[in-house]
Amino acid sequence: MAQQFSVPVRNARLDAIEAAIGASPKLRFYSGAQPSSCAAARTGTLLAELALPSDWMAQAAAGSKAFAGSWSGAGAAAAGAGTNIGHFAIMDAAGTTCHQQGKVGATGDGTADMTVDNLSLAQGQAISVTAFTLTDGNA
């Protein structure tokens, strides 16, 4: 049988993720396939970089933690006339270390780790994250 944890332990694990990544991280959207791990070299073209709020995640509750504040920005020059987003990476505040990565989908995509208002990003085009939640298992 698998181990199980109380809600307070699950919440603490989730809050530790935000603490480890730190305040004001960078969210990057890339074209192409997601790398095999956060430690691997970034793949694809950098389509946008968003500066996240200093307190970028809400306090964990009931074993879940949602994004806080407004996560929005604009497409970089490399996005050109429109390029599909392949994956995201959450980097430290300096933009040097990837701490989390995942699949991006359009609003309502239940298979995505993060959803945005538009998957095809062009230079200067506004982009907003519409959903991002971390859920701890082990209930």
How far is Cα 116 from Cα 118, in angstroms, rounded to an integer? 6
pLDDT in tens, 94-131: 999 999 999 999 999 999 999 999 999 999 999 999 99
pTM confidence score: 0.94
DSSP assignment of 37-61: STTSPP-S-EEEEEEPPSS-BPPPB
Non-local (6+) Cβ contacts of 106 within 8 A are: 112, 115, 116, 117, 118, 119
43, exposed or middle or buried, with CB in 10 Å at 0-12, 13-18, 19+? middle
pLDDT in tens, 2-12: 889 999 999 99
Helix (H) or strand (E) holding 87: strand 87-91
pLDDT in tens, 10-64: 999 999 999 999 999 999 999 999 999 999 999 999 999 999 999 999 999 999 9
* Alpha-carbon torsion (27, 72, 122, 85), positive or negative: positive
